[in-house]
Copies of this chain bind each other. A is one copy, B any other.
């Protein structure tokens, strides 16, 4: 890409440089959800069409996009911009858990939906946040683990099948 821009597309390189410059100057973190935005509070957090009683915690902005594309959730978000990973030096401060704690105490939030990944770090992060918010009078939920939609027993890994059986639900 660098060779192409330098050899054949000086104008494009200039546009890219000024776009990056503009982004670096104008894009910041939303004061409420911590996602990237050009404003103090992002459009999603300002919306009156969303349920302020629900707060979904995701790791990255891409996860928020996935949630929105699934059209299954109409509440608010908090983006950690990472996950707990002590070996990489990422602790509770780096993923802004102090701000998350403050965010849940606005009197409107009733339920915190933990939607971190089902990786080791994601699970540890969910567990830590669960403990942190444990006695704050909030309902703490975790998105479900189990077989995917369209999934067949014969083709899932045994760890997932075991979880699906352990977390079976009454019909």
**Is A135 engaged at the interface, CB distance under 8 Å to the other chain?**
no
How many residues on A have C-beta within 8 angstroms of the other chain's C-beta atoms?
Answer: 53
Contacts of A165 in B (CB 8 A): 67, 70, 72-73, 113, 115, 143-144
CB distance from A63 to the nearest CB of B (A): 4
Q: Which of B114, B117, B147, B170 is within 8 Å of A118, CB to CB? A: B147
Per-position binary interface string of chain A over residues 20-62, scored 1 when its CB falls under 8 Å from any chain B CB and 0 otherwise: 0000000000000000000000000000000000000011101
Which single member of B66, B157, B164, B170 contacts A140 (CB below 8 Å)?
A: B170
A142 to B69, CA, bound (A): 27
Contacts of A7 in B (CB 8 A): none
Contact with B along A111-132 (1 / 0, CB 8 A): 0011101110010001000100
A154 contacts B66, CB within 8 Å?
yes
Contact assessment for A72 and B161 in the assembled complex, using a CB-CB cutoff below 8 Å: yes
Q: A142 — which chain B residues lie within 8 A by C-beta? A: 168-169, 171
A151 CB-CB contact with B under 8 Å:
yes
- In the complex the two chains form, what is the Cα distance from A164 to B142 in whole Å? 9
Q: Which 9 A-B pairs have the closest CB atoms?
A: A144-B146, A72-B162, A70-B158, A146-B146, A144-B167, A149-B159, A143-B164, A63-B153, A141-B168
